[in-house]
Structure 1
Amino acid sequence: MKQLRIKKTAIILSIITLLTAGASALDLSLHLYPVYEAPLNNFMNKAGGFGGNVGIDIAPVSLRGRDKIFISGEFTYSVYPVEGLGIQSLFDGALGLGYNFRINDRFAVFPEVYAGLWSFNTSDAANIQSASGLVFGGRVGGEFYLGPAFSLSAFGGFKTYYTRPSPFMNNFELGIGIRYSLSRGLFSSNKISMEENEVEPLFPVFFSHYSDNPFGHFTFVNNEENDIYDVEVSILVDSFMITPYIIYQAPQVGRGDSFEVSACALFNENILELIQPKSSDLEVTVTYYSIGKKQTSTYNIPVTALSRNSMTWEDDRRAAAFVSGRDATAQRFARLVKTAVRNNLRKDIPENVQYAAAIFGALKAFGINYVVDPSSAFTDNVGTAAVDFLQFPYQTLLYHGGDCDDLTILNCSLLEALGIETAFITVPGHIYMAFDSGLSADKIGSVRKGYYIVAEGKLWVPVEITLSQDTFSLAWSYGAREWRKAGENAALIPLKNAWSLYLPISVPDSDVNIDMPSQDILIKHFTEARYY
């Protein structure tokens, strides 16, 4: 007895598990079948009948991904034109159980059995009293899918109207009809699922970089019961984009297959106006064709755009985006310095070196100071995903100071505004700058040993920009010593190379008023400059 209870419990649990597993695939549909019925006995066997079958099909369980076990509730009304007796009618209602076996994307076959009740009204002409009883039957048919929701059906079957002592009538039936899935047609069940999504914060300074470099990744799964075609994925961040940007296209994705998508975008320059982080919705839209019908799935994912001064040091080259010779304030500063000193240039010193010394002296006279920011330091953030705050050139001039990365960005921008190529120098825990001396690498034997860096066929001058209130010669010698001391751990990153990945940008409000040192002071600092 105990074993019997255990078996019953196991059977019940198995059924519950099966139904639960298929609950997500629940499909509710309507069918309408015009039917021809051929009586095999009874007084109506000389004339066929015609009827209409309407019903509801519920498929709570899916097997093999797209086969369905379905339960049907149906009602049939049949009429039989009998010679000499007029039109005879018969009603029946039944519950059925069937299995829809999907052969491919378009075709399926199904067997079904059903049982219910039937009723025949009194026929005075045939001298037959009303009758009723049980109805049993079965049918086998095929379906052709016109789309995800519509299908055409054709079937044949046998039905018996049972009474005692013998059946009232046995029928052979043929039918055609349509089936409409309410789940797919009206409720638009989403069949493309987003299994994974990873979206990084947006850095406004890299807005052009994101057109080819992803800031997020998505994984989708095709849960349709068939292959899908002309798959397209687009994204839109309404605050910073004009139109959706297509990030993925595929001619076909198989049933049950997953596909990965990388999120790139064409952001507009409005994103550069952010001075505080802003949260927005990233709208991801998937469009595709399923059995000839266009389908759309949309997902909204939160994304945060950080302030325009934000950056991480996972790649030191990223800081190149802040260096711009087109920064209006930096450009004006550099040109005023060049105009002031150009008539005092020496012939025995490379021109690039003299202009760099003039810029260094002008910044000293202007009052630029090295300020350590303990909450935003290159030393703490280098090589990490921690968000740092970097100043644009005009901001460092406006604030009269910054940390090592801010001063590096400013000095590089000022020299780039004069057409002098610059580079970042990174050593463990620190960043500073170098500039092209104007001498080719083959001149290394004619210059002071240890004071230049040979790279890309040029001689570069390293300058420790944090010594902003000391002399140019000290900043040069100190920068050269840091390079030698770091050895293999030092790296020189020419800005023109870094810009191939991270384009320089200039923010809209970079043109600010600053009080420049007088021309006499600029000339004084320039003529007092020493070069070693």
Structure 2
Amino acid sequence: EHKINPIFPLFYSYYDKNPAGELSISNGESTPYEKVKVSFYAKQYMDGPRLCADLGTLKGGETKTTPVFALFNDSIFRVTEGTKAAGEVIVEYFYLGKEKKVSFPVTVQVQNRNAMTWDDDRKAAAFVTAKDPLILGFSKNVASTVRYEGAPPVSEDFRIAFALFQALTTYNLGYAVDPKTPYTALSEKQDTVDFLQFPNQTLAYRAGDCDDISVLYAALLESVGVPAALVTTPGHIYVAFDPGLPPDSAGRLFAAKGELIVRDGRAWVPVEVTLVKDGFVRAWRTGAQEWWEAEAAGKTGFYPIREAWGTYEPVGFVEGGIAVSLPPPERIVEGYRRELAKFLEAQVGPRIAAIQAEDRAAKKTADQTANRIGVVYAQFGQLEAAAEQFRIASRRGTYAPAVTNIGNVLYLQGEMKDALEQYEKALSLAPASAAALAGAARCLYALDDTKRMNEVIAKLKAVNPELAAKIDTAKPMPSATAGDPSKYESGSTTSLSVMDKD
């Protein structure tokens, strides 16, 4: 007896380690079969038989069941319409000392290459073809286009994810429910075959269902190194990305609580991909709301792409004839800037209002308040606005934290000599300032003044050994364009220097 399950070309490598079916082998004789081996072969799509099991001895009258494995080659991925193929099960054994070999035919049902079922949501990760040249071309062009749009808001990964989503908006990608295979219905029917578009197909068609747009956005993110995850709620799927911030820093950074998904010590930004025409800000808020509503009911799924790839490898799918024309760079930048202004209004305004209210209640000085406001601007990449607040806070020349932060801004802008001057001024006011010492050490490294740098690091070790340890003189220090602004909040800036919040 045998059962060969329908074969899904997308998972052709999956069947080498996971069963494609099962079969039962029986010995109808009274004498045992020795050294029994079972193989499977489908000549049209395999280079040779795949050994499924070495059963050893099969006693007279005994039946053994074994899974069927198959090592398909990539020719199976050319199947664009469901078809049937001839296969065979091969049994080799010894009977009464003589080697025997028998085979019997089986029919293999092969689905089309876009087919999958939703019995395991992680399967969709196989469609996330991050190495597709078309996907790489789109994502890298967008990333390079916005790279020099000032300091990154939040983090460089956040900026890239933000820009990619906005580029899809500018590209005029649209959400369109597939009337034949809607995800809402099929996700509840685990054995029903769905049709998913590959990312390059969704780009070419400029439209897709929620699952199609999800795998496209995830592929774009992963193609430039931003970790992505598939998020499921009842009848729906969308995407989250990791901006590279520790959860505590991310939680303090954003204005509204509940805007993030925290899983296994990582903070993720949920993005409702079907709102691609409405922009990133609304898509983020909606994605977060959908998550928490479903989470309250215990009906969420969360699948990091890289973990899912461990089971469901992405295929190297490149379809000829697909051409994608990116929007002109000026339109990408225009869309990015417009949405970034909305994002900053939503995030920065409430934070500043809260700081002002807190400081009035705590009777803090105007210098302290201006410095704190400057830190907020800096965290969101608004360096000019930050510098203005720091200058206000340091106008009397006696408030060391603000002077240090002016140095931080200058460092981020690549003005090493001017930044060092500010750090030295801050140290004259507060010789034990770890923030100013760390900034000075990094400037001296950039200026190739090793002797003075080591002297400053020695002082920093006496003040803050942990921070000093992060300044590894054996490795290149971060450039002035690198960033992780989550650390503004916790004590250090964009992995460049230390933001002083006092």
- Pairwise same-fold verdict (TM > 0.5): yes
Report the counterpart of residue 4 of structure 2 in structure 1: 199
Q: What is the rounded CA distance, in whole Å, between the counterparts of 2:191 and 2:107 in structure 1?
A: 20
Q: What is the rounded CA distance, in whole Å, between the counterparts of 2:223 and 2:197 in structure 1?
A: 17
Deviations 1:84-113 (A, max 9, x none): xxxxxxxxxxxxxxxxxxxxxxxxxxxxxx
Report the counterpart of residue 79 of structure 1 in structure 2: none
**Residue 241 of structure 2: which of 421, 435, 440 is its match?**
435
Change (3 A) 1:348 1:245: closer
Q: How does 1:486-497 map to 2 (within 5 A)?
A: 486-487=294-295, 488-497=298-307
Cα shift at 1:408: 0.1
Which has the bigger relative contact order, CA under 8 A and spacing at least 6?
Answer: 2
Secondary structure of 2:162's partner? helix
Q: Indicate conservation of the 8 Å contact 1:345/1:354, yes or no.
A: no
Secondary structure of 2:242's partner? strand
Report the counterpart of residue 115 of structure 2 in structure 1: 310
Unpaired runs of at least 5, structure 1:
1-195
Report the counterpart of residue 313 of structure 2 in structure 1: 503
Q: Indicate conservation of the 8 Å contact 1:223/1:256, yes or no.
A: yes
Q: What is the rounded CA distance, in whole Å, between the counterparts of 1:510 and 1:332 in structure 2?
A: 15
Amino acid at match of 1:471: G
Amino acid at match of 1:478: T
**Residue 137 of structure 2: which of 317, 332, 336 is its match?**
332
Report the counterpart of residue 208 of structure 1 in structure 2: 13
Q: What is the rounded CA distance, in whole Å, between the counterparts of 1:508 and 1:366 in structure 2?
A: 21
Unpaired runs of at least 5, structure 2:
347-502
**Residue 281 of structure 1: which of 76, 86, 99 is its match?**
86
Structure-1-length-normalised TM-score: 0.62
Cα shift at 1:506: 2.2
Secondary structure of 2:275's partner? coil
Q: Indicate conservation of the 8 Å contact 1:329/1:510, yes or no.
A: no
Amino acid at match of 1:430: H
Give the structure with the larger strand fraction: 1
Cα shift at 1:367: 1.3
Q: Indicate conservation of the 8 Å contact 1:329/1:511, yes or no.
A: no
Change (3 A) 1:362 1:253: same
Cα shift at 1:348: 4.2
Report the counterpart of residue 414 of structure 2 in structure 1: none
Change (3 A) 1:510 1:436: farther
Report the counterpart of residue 426 of structure 1 in structure 2: 232
**Residues 1:474 and 2:279 aligned together:** no
Report the counterpart of residue 342 of structure 1 in structure 2: 147
Report the counterpart of residue 356 of structure 2 in structure 1: none
**Residues 1:513 and 2:318 aligned together:** no
Cα shift at 1:211: 0.6
Report the counterpart of residue 268 of structure 1 in structure 2: 73
Q: What is the rounded CA distance, in whole Å, between the counterparts of 1:445 and 1:424 in structure 2?
A: 21
Report the counterpart of residue 452 of structure 2 in structure 1: none
Deviations 1:256-313 (A, max 9, x none): 0001010111110111111111211121011110001111221111111111100000
Q: What is the rounded CA distance, in whole Å, between the counterparts of 2:153 and 2:215 in structure 1?
A: 29
Report the counterpart of residue 269 of structure 2 in structure 1: 461
Q: Indicate conservation of the 8 Å contact 1:394/1:511, yes or no.
A: no
Cα shift at 1:510: 6.2
Cα shift at 1:498: 0.8
Q: Indicate conservation of the 8 Å contact 1:204/1:274, yes or no.
A: yes
Cα shift at 1:444: 4.2
Q: Indicate conservation of the 8 Å contact 1:328/1:510, yes or no.
A: no
Deviations 1:225-283 (A, max 9, x none): 30110101111011110111100112211000001010111110111111111211121
Structure-2-length-normalised TM-score: 0.66
CA RMSD of aligned residues (A): 1.3
Report the counterpart of residue 74 of structure 1 in structure 2: none
Report the counterpart of residue 350 of structure 2 in structure 1: none
Secondary structure of 2:92's partner? strand
Amino acid at match of 2:283: A
Q: What is the rounded CA distance, in whole Å, between the counterparts of 1:245 and 1:352 in structure 2?
A: 43
Amino acid at match of 1:473: V
Q: What is the rounded CA distance, in whole Å, between the counterparts of 1:408 and 1:468 in structure 2?
A: 11
Amino acid at match of 2:149: N
Say which one has the larger Rg: 1
Q: How does 1:139-150 map to 2 (within 5 A)?
A: none
Q: How does 1:48-447 map to 2 (within 5 A)?
A: 196-383=1-188, 384-447=190-253
Change (3 A) 1:287 1:201: same
Farther off after superposition, 501-510 or 294-303: 501-510
Equivalenced residues, count: 337
